[in-house]
Amino acid sequence: MRHLLDTQTLAREDALRILDVAEDMADTQRREVKKLPTLRGKTVVNLFFEDSTRTRISFEAAAKRLSADVINFSAKGSSVSKGESLQDTAQTLQAMGADAVVIRHGASGAPRTLATSGWISAGVVNAGDGTHEHPTQALLDAFTIRKRRFGDDSRGRDLAGVAVTIVGDILHSRVARSNVWLLDALGAEVTLVAPPTLVPQDVSGWPVRVLYDLDEAIAAGPDALMMLRIQLERMNAAYFPTEREYSRRWGLDPLRLRALGADTIVMHPGPMNRGLEISAEAADSPRSTVLEQVTNGVSVRMAALYLLLAGADDPTTEIPEETTR
């Protein structure tokens, strides 16, 4: 695997491989010595043009647990804010010996531009680009759903027949997009719920069902309910009139929480607006996978970095028969 840019072009086998390797990584995280020597001598650069402590720390932990060296580059107060281009920033970091670049950027497509430009030879991991994709988030979400459902027997399994409902600002959500493609590839059935203003104008080609009514969606009995963070700035651009109305119509309040099926899990990529899209009761209930998602995020990112960096620089990653001893 040369780059991890999106889930839309991630084949089902590759997605399952990442999830299964993440299982092994998760196992090592339960030991007393959580470190592996696997990526010793490799350098991972966190190239974050957007503020994000949580995702950056997660990637940092993942890299360090594999014994890689980590360099953190945050755009604020750096040469980027003085107008340095993406190209120059990336090439400077490569000149410092980066083997992989984990990039979070406000412009959709920036990781793909970086990966295909020929400016750098390092592998590129997309940690979130604009409103386009956030592949490791979708992978950790799928890992979490699978783990809750199959426990220790998760390896090799997909999500065939699992009903996942995603609620919130689909239009601006890279988490939603990445989840739609990945869940579909894994055989899950996806429903999107949002105010009509926050659904893209043409999703007729998406493998999803779209509803405007959250109660109707809950009555259909999803196995997993994923709540997305709502950004209050959207109110000023007339996507919905008030916080209060959004919360009433599309918030997971205590009443809706009680209407969920016995085994339905509640997910949220974080950070949460308690009381807005998700009530405190829902966030803190045993159904909530919010903290597991964070833990699983490290395992999934360890798997991604391992698959990107551990092997020889070979674009065709064949898993060989045991050859050398």
Partner 1 sequence: MSETLLFRGALIEGTTAADVIVDGGMIAEIGPSLSRAGATVVDADGLVLLPGLVDLHTHLREPGYEASETILTGSRAAAAGGYSAVFAMPNTSPVADTAGVVEQELALGEAAGFVTVQPIGAVTVGQKGERLAELGAMADSRARVRVFSDDGFCVWDPLIMRRALEYVKAFDGVIAQHAQDPRLTEGAQMNEGAVSAELGLAGWPAVAEESIIARDVLLAEHVGSRLHVCHLSTAGSVDIIRWAKKRGVDVTAEVTPHHLLLTDELVRDYDARFKVNPPLRREEDVLAVREGLADGTIDIVATDHAPHPAEAKACEWHAAANGMVGLESALRVVQLAMVDTGLITWGDVARIMSREPARIGRLAGHGTPLTAGQPASLAFYDPAPRRTFTTDDLRGRSVNSPYLGRELPGDVRWTLHAGTVTVADGALLDTPGVRA
Partner 2 sequence: MSTRIVLHEADIARALTRISHEILESNKGPDGLVLLGIPTRGVTLANRIGALVEQFGGTPVPVGALDVTMYRDDLHRNPTRAPQRTHIPDGGIDGKVVVLVDDVLFSGRSIRAALDALQDIGRPAAVRLATLVDRGHRELPIRPDFVGKNLPSAREERVNVRLNENDGSDSVTIEGR
Between the CA of residue 98 and those of 65, 91, 109, 301, 303, what are the distances in Å? Answer: 17, 10, 21, 17, 18
SS3 content of the chain, % helix, strand, coil (to 5): 40, 15, 45
Site for partner 1 in 30-69 (CB under 8 A): none
Minimum Å gap between C-beta 299 and partner 2 is: 12
Cβ-based nearer residue to partner 2, 154 or 247: 154
Per-residue DSSP letter, 112: H
Minimum Å gap between C-beta 277 and partner 1 is: 20
Site for partner 2 in 297-316 (CB under 8 A): 306-307, 310-312, 314, 316
DSSP E strands in the chain: the ranges are 43-48, 69-74, 100-105, 123-129, 163-167, 189-193, 208-211, 224-227, 265-267
Residue 23 contacts residue 154 (beta carbons within 8 Å) = yes
Evaluated on CA atoms 47, 125, 160, 181, the torsion sign reads positive
Residue 143, classified by CB atoms within 10 Å of its CB into exposed (0-12), middle (13-18) or buried (19+), is buried
Exactly one of 200, 209, 273, 317 binds partner 1 (CB under 8 A); which one? 200
Exactly one of 3, 42, 65, 174 binds partner 1 (CB under 8 A); which one? 174
Binder of residue 86, out of partner 2, partner 1, none (CB less than 5 to 8 A by kind): partner 1
Residue that is written with structure tokens 């509640």 in the block: 266
Binder of residue 322, out of partner 2, partner 1, none (CB less than 5 to 8 A by kind): partner 2
Site for partner 1 in 72-91 (CB under 8 A): 85-87
Site for partner 1 in 88-147 (CB under 8 A): 105-110, 112-114, 116-117, 129-133
- Mark the segment that binds partner 1 (CB under 8 A) among 94-102, 200-208, 257-265, 301-309: 200-208
Q: Binding string, 139-178, against partner 2, x = CB under 8 A?
A: ----------------x-----------------------
Q: Is 219 left (phi over 0), alpha (psi -120 to 50) or beta?
A: alpha
Residue 93 contacts residue 45 (beta carbons within 8 Å) = yes
Bridge pairing between strands 208-211 and 189-193:
parallel
Exactly one of 35, 76, 244, 274 binds partner 2 (CB under 8 A); which one? 35
Q: Is 324 in the site for partner 2 (CB under 8 A)?
A: yes
Under the rule (CB under 8 A), what is the footprint of partner 2? Answer: 1, 17, 20-21, 23-24, 27-28, 31, 33, 35-38, 155, 306-307, 310-312, 314, 316-320, 322-325
Under the rule (CB under 8 A), what is the footprint of partner 1? Answer: 8, 85-87, 105-110, 112-114, 116-117, 129-133, 174, 177, 200-206
